[in-house]
């Protein structure tokens, strides 16, 4: 079994590159179908979404744009419960179809904050695409429209997700070893 050590924790392989690629292709196909004839704006949530956003965009065959916001709600391995917008939007969203691109949706606090912001900005529609969803932890009523993978409420790293800033560069997904 493949393992990695990041700082003081050991993680075991959870999802390999092939599983990740297949799941991203599936949601890209759904987005391509749902947005045919439209020009959506993909809004990536940094830092974690960068690998997912890049791979997703390679498979989207629509006329589209991508922009990024940076928010934070984690310190170490736990959510702080507060979402802080660190970098804002740099363009008008009035009348736009926006797809939020997230690395992981767990409690939903970040999504709730971003959706509220986008509603105030006058978006035509707002959808959410996430690499990972933790259904056990998600406690919001906002629908998550495109989910690459559902996972249990466990701590994972790799493929953009980190442990105190480390591990984002791993091509596969790893879960904290018991």
DSSP 20: H
- Report how far residue 170's alpha carbon sits from residue 28's, in angstroms, rounded to the nearest whole number: 22
Omega cis (within 30) before 102: no
- Report how far residue 117's alpha carbon sits from residue 140's, in angstroms, rounded to the nearest whole number: 16
Q: Do 170 and 160 contact (CB within 8 A), yes or no?
A: no
Q: Is 76 left (phi over 0), alpha (psi -120 to 50) or beta?
A: left
Q: Do 132 and 151 contact (CB within 8 A), yes or no?
A: yes
106 catalytic residue (yes or no): yes
- Report how far residue 44's alpha carbon sits from residue 4's, in angstroms, rounded to the nearest whole number: 27
Which of 90, 106, 141, 178 does the annotation list as catalytic? 106
Q: Do 145 and 174 contact (CB within 8 A), yes or no?
A: no
Q: Hey, which residues are catalytic here?
A: 106
């Amino acid at each position: 079994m493949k393992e990695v050590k990041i700082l003081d924790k050991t993680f075991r392989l959870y999802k390999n590159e092939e599983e990740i690629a297949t799941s991203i292709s599936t949601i890209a196909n759904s987005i391509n179908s749902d947005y045919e004839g439209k020009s959506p704006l993909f809004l990536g949530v940094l830092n974690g979404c960068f690998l997912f956003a890049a791979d997703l965009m390679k498979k989207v065959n629509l006329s589209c744009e991508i922009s990024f916001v940076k928010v934070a709600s984690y310190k170490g391995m736990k959510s702080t419960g507060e979402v802080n917008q660190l970098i804002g939007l740099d363009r008008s969203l009035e009348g736009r179809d926006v797809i939020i691109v997230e690395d992981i949706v767990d409690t939903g606090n970040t999504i709730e904050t971003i959706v509220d912001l986008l509603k105030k900005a006058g978006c035509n529609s707002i959808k959410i695409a996430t690499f990972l969803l933790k259904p056990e932890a998600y406690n919001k009523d906002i629908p998550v429209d495109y989910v690459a993978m559902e996972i249990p409420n466990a701590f994972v790293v790799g493929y953009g997700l980190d442990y105190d800033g480390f591990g984002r560069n791993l091509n596969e997904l790893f879960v904290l070893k018991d």
